[in-house]
Amino acid sequence: MSVSTLAPAAWWARLGQARRRTFLGYLFLSPWLVGLLAFTLFPILAVFGLGFMEYGIFGRPTWVGLENYRDILTNDRLFLTTLGNTLYFVALSVPLSTVIGFLLAVALNTRLIGQTLFRTAFYVPSIVPQVAAVLLFVWLFHPQIGLINFALDLLGLEGPNWLGRPQWAKPAIVIMGLWGVGGGMIIYLAGLQSIPQHLYEAAEIDGATEMRRFLMITIPLMTPTLFYNLIIGIIGSFQVFVTAYVATQGGPLNSTLFYVLYLYRYGFEEFRLGYASALAWILFLLVLALTVVVFRSSSSWVYYESGGER
């Protein structure tokens, strides 16, 4: 047997068991690491660089320094409009989806007839393709033939032009966003089922009412799950795009022109990729800052069964 054949085997034997396990771990992780570098980190760095350039799809990038950021913050009249629209959506969508998803999970965690059917019925809408769901809501909100205005008419109320009036369009988009609360509901349901039953039994022996047990056991032990869904909800709400793009295209009067839709227009309709990249990084920094604030605040309200307050 040749020396070249023995060399890899000898090298492998000299590594030792711990290092071999580490090497194999990195080896099996390598496809994911390559994907992370190629499809996540590299695009992030590329977008960061493009933010300092004037770049269209048919030309060479030209260095402009901070000009894109200066234009956005000082000259772009729609920047604050889109930011305000997005903050409006976040401020309504995140609390509503959190509360509705949690209450649904609590209701479906009790023993009731058809429990599996109800869980499935509330979860399935969250996996329906978003475009299809939005088109369904566009029909429901139609001022003449929509079911919502038809129901209001039966009650003797005049239904508004939901997607045609600025004062109604944003609330309608928020309602459309609540279509997917089933995803969060499943996570809450898993959290509820992980709470040890002996805590409820001990509290019941001590004479605690059902409401007292809910407030003193369920809510505190669900705060880690609430915290997770809150972070995911904030990040997702800032990226609202499909709903407005399909339902209103940003109208009427820019009332549903959300930040990512505005970014999309610059990047893929006007092909001002440098400007769009700067917009993307401003959004990233804004979401990052808000996420850090929520993480810092969690030490005062997130509790764990083993470690107490975070």
Q: Spell out, as residue ranges, where the chain has pLDDT lower than 70.
A: 1-16, 305-310
pLDDT of residue 164: 92
Chain segment 247-298, per-residue pLDDT in tens: 999 989 999 999 999 999 999 998 999 999 999 999 999 999 999 999 999 9
Is residue 188 within 8 Å of 225, Cβ to Cβ? yes
- DSSP β-bridge partners for residue 54: 62
Burial class (CB in 10 A: 0-12, 13-18, 19+), 276: buried
pLDDT of residue 41: 87
Prediction pTM value: 0.87
pLDDT of residue 115: 82
| Same domain, yes or no: 102 and 175 | yes
Is 57 inside a domain boundary? no
Is 62 inside a domain boundary? no
Give the count of domains, the chain: 2
pLDDT of residue 102: 95
| Same domain, yes or no: 36 and 79 | no
pLDDT of residue 15: 65
> Domain of 163: which CATH number?
1.10.3720.10
| Domain limits for position 19 | 3-50
Structure tokens at 137: 């809501």
pLDDT of residue 59: 79
| Same domain, yes or no: 45 and 105 | no
| Same domain, yes or no: 31 and 167 | no
End-to-end Cα spacing for the chain? 60
| Same domain, yes or no: 35 and 101 | no
Handedness of CA 101, 106, 110, 112 (dihedral sign): negative
pLDDT of residue 304: 78
